[in-house]
């Protein structure tokens, strides 16, 4: 049976930002398929397990949303990982994995969801990119490359989706308070040669003009805005929310 409510597929929905997005969209009245490598059955939305570094994982997630809800209106490509290392030591298998999850997965999700997104003339594709889609930082070669790439993908989707009413945007936050950031502290300390206790202030918050972490709920509110009536003029653009990082 086809849901009467809008349906969103959110990836990385068991993690920091994805969970907040799934929760916000559910509270706003959407049916949510909450996709993750390690899904949380207690989390917001309908939990679905998929490894999004694989082609089958991405095709399977879109198929599951359509099978369960009969429609798909919003895709939020959010799942992500990080690896911090100087280029000469950067593990090649981590490069492959990061590119697969941060760039190829959004491409595959868009490809498989495209007809469903076009069906009602108001589909939305939102990538959770990063300020790193716009600027670089040392020791994050794979992440920065993939995030720049996903902005290119979003711009392309916006052009291809215009006539079908599909809007595509890339949310570009600065540092957000999530496990992904917390797990970087030890590696950042090593790569930058600073005390782990100083990493938050001296490395992570250094590029923010406003010295705080962004909360996952703030990113979720931006996604909710973009897929709502106020977001109808936004397509093919980075939606930057980085506390002044890229102003310099
Ligand atoms: N935290 C930040 O500061 C920040 C800033 C800008 C952008 N982002 C982006 O936001 C997104 C979410 O990041 P987060 O900070 O919430 O991370 P997180 O580590 O809290 O959550 C990521 C989620 O992705 C899932 N995941 C990992 N590998 C997967 C796979 N192969 N298949 C399916 N799911 C997988 C994890 O299980 C986890 O639940 C990422 O794309 C990240 O690059 C984060």
Question: What pLDDT, on the 0 to 100 scale, is given for residue 187?
Answer: 87
Domain span including residue 91: 7-176+213-241
In a domain, 37, yes or no: yes
Give 100-159 pLDDT, tens digit per residue. Answer: 999 999 999 999 999 999 999 999 999 999 999 999 999 999 999 999 999 999 999 999
pLDDT band at 83 (very low <50, low <70, confident <90, very high): very high
Residue 99 predicted with pLDDT over 90: yes
Question: What pLDDT, on the 0 to 100 scale, is given for residue 113?
Answer: 98
Residue 188 predicted with pLDDT over 90: no
Q: Distance from the CA of 229 to the center of ligand 1, in angstroms?
A: 27
Mean pLDDT for the stretch of residues 216-227:
98
**What is the Cα–Cα distance from 122 to 232, expressed in whole angstroms?**
9
Mutate which of 9, 10, 11, 12 to test ligand 1's pocket (most atoms within 8 Å of Cβ)? 12
Three-point CA angle 39, 51, 108, nearest 5°: 120
Question: What pLDDT, on the 0 to 100 scale, is given for residue 79?
Answer: 98
| Residue bearing the CA closest to ligand 1, atom 40 | 80
Q: How buried is 50 (Cβ within 10 angstroms: 0-12 exposed, 13-18 middle, 19+ buried)?
A: buried
Give the whole-number percent of the chain exceeding pLDDT 70: 100
What is the average pLDDT score of the chain? 97
| Full 3-state SS string of 156-215 | HHHHHHCCCCCEEEEEEECCECCHHHHCCHHHHHHHHCCCHHHHHHHHHCCCCCCCCCEC
Question: What pLDDT, on the 0 to 100 scale, is given for residue 133?
Answer: 98
Is 83 or 187 the better-scoring residue by pLDDT?
A: 83
3-state secondary structure of 33: strand
CA 143 vs CA 82, 102, 103, 129, 140: distances in Å:
6, 8, 10, 10, 5
C-beta of 207 in contact with ligand 1 (< 6 A): no
> How many domains, in total, are found in the chain?
1
The whole model's pTM is what?
A: 0.97
In a domain, 67, yes or no: yes
3-state secondary structure of 239: strand
**What is the Cα–Cα distance from 57 to 213, expressed in whole angstroms?**
32
Beta-carbon contacts of 234 under 8 Å, excluding residues fewer than 6 positions away, are 167, 169, 226
In a domain, 228, yes or no: yes
Give 16-45 pLDDT, tens digit per residue. Answer: 999 999 999 999 999 999 999 999 999 999
C-beta of 79 in contact with ligand 1 (< 6 A): yes
Residue 180 predicted with pLDDT over 90: no
Question: What pLDDT, on the 0 to 100 scale, is given for residue 235?
Answer: 99
Question: What pLDDT, on the 0 to 100 scale, is given for residue 57?
Answer: 99
pLDDT band at 216 (very low <50, low <70, confident <90, very high): very high
Query: What CATH number has the domain bearing residue 34?
Result: 3.40.50.720
Three-point CA angle 100, 241, 72, nearest 5°: 55
Residue 86 predicted with pLDDT over 90: yes
In a domain, 137, yes or no: yes
Question: What pLDDT, on the 0 to 100 scale, is given for residue 184?
Answer: 86
Q: Report, as residue numbers or ranges, the catalytic residues.
A: 143
In a domain, 188, yes or no: no
Please report the beta strands in 12-165, taking only residues with DSSP state E, as ranges in sequence order.
Answer: 31-36, 46-49, 74-77, 124-128
Q: Which residue has the tokens 């790569």?
A: 191
Beta-carbon contacts of 139 under 8 Å, excluding residues fewer than 6 positions away, are 84, 85, 86, 87, 188, 191, 192
Distance, first Cα to last Cα, the chain: 51
């Amino acid at each position: 049976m086809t849901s009467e409510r809008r349906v969103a597929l959110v990836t990385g929905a068991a993690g920091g930002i994805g969970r907040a997005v799934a929760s916000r969209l559910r509270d706003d009245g959407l049916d949510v398929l909450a996709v993750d490598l390690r899904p949380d059955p207690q989390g917001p939305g309908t939990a679905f397990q998929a490894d999004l570094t694989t082609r089958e994982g991405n095709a399977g997630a879109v198929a599951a949303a359509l099978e369960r809800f009969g429609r798909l209106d919003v895709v939020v490509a959010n799942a992500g990982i990080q690896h911090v290392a100087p280029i000469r030591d950067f593990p090649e298998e981590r490069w492959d994995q990061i590119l697969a999850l941060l760039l190829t997965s959004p491409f595959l999700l868009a490809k498989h969801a495209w007809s469903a997104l076009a069906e009602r003339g108001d589909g939305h594709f939102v990538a959770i990119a990063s300020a790193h889609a716009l600027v670089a930082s040392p020791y994050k070669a794979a992440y920065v490359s993939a995030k720049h790439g996903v902005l290119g993908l979003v711009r392309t989707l916006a052009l291809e989706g215009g006539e079908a009413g599909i809007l595509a945007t890339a949310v570009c936050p600065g540092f957000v308070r999530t496990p992904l950031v917390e797990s970087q502290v030890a590696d950042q300390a090593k790569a930058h040669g600073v005390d782990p206790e100083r990493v938050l202030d001296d490395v992570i918050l250094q590029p923010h003009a406003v010295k705080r972490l962004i909360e996952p709920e703030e990113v979720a509110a931006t996604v909710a805005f973009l897929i709502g009536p106020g977001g109808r003029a936004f397509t093919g653009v980075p939606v930057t929310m980085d506390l002044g990082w890229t102003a310099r």
